[in-house]
Amino acid sequence: MPEFNIFSHKLVPKHEILKEEEKEELLKKYGVSLRQLPRILSSDPVVKVLGAKPGDVIRIRRKSLTAGETVYYRVVVRG
């Protein structure tokens, strides 16, 4: 049975792991720590496919009819 590509589904927005420099820049820009970012579990199917590990920050780009595109950030936690 062929594997399903989760990113090919129209309801799954683009996810990407931030590089270490990008992560530090993000935290500095908003004056927050990793603990203050919204979380995403390491057991999330998209996180598994990306190969992200706890402590990584995921950038999620969602299309919006009113804003065009919105960007969200999540820190990967065990679970």
Q: Which residue has the higher pLDDT, 8 or 41?
A: 41
Look at residue 64 and tell me whether its pLDDT is greater than 90.
no
Beta carbons of 29 and 71 less than 8 angstroms apart? no
Q: Average pLDDT, stretch 37-51?
A: 94
Q: Is the pLDDT of residue 23 over 60?
A: yes
Q: Which amino acid is at 26?
A: L
For residue 45, report the phi and psi dihedrals to the nearest 5 degrees: -55, -40
Residue 79 in this model has a pLDDT that exceeds 90? no
Average pLDDT for residues 41-64, to the nearest whole number? 94
Locate tokens 């969200």: which residue? 72
pLDDT greater than 70 at residue 10: yes
Domains of the chain: 10-77 (3.90.940.20)
Measured between alpha carbons, how far is 40 from 73 in angstroms, rounded to an integer? 9
pLDDT of residue 2: 55
Quick one: which of 38, 25, 37, 77 has its CA closest to 55? Answer: 77
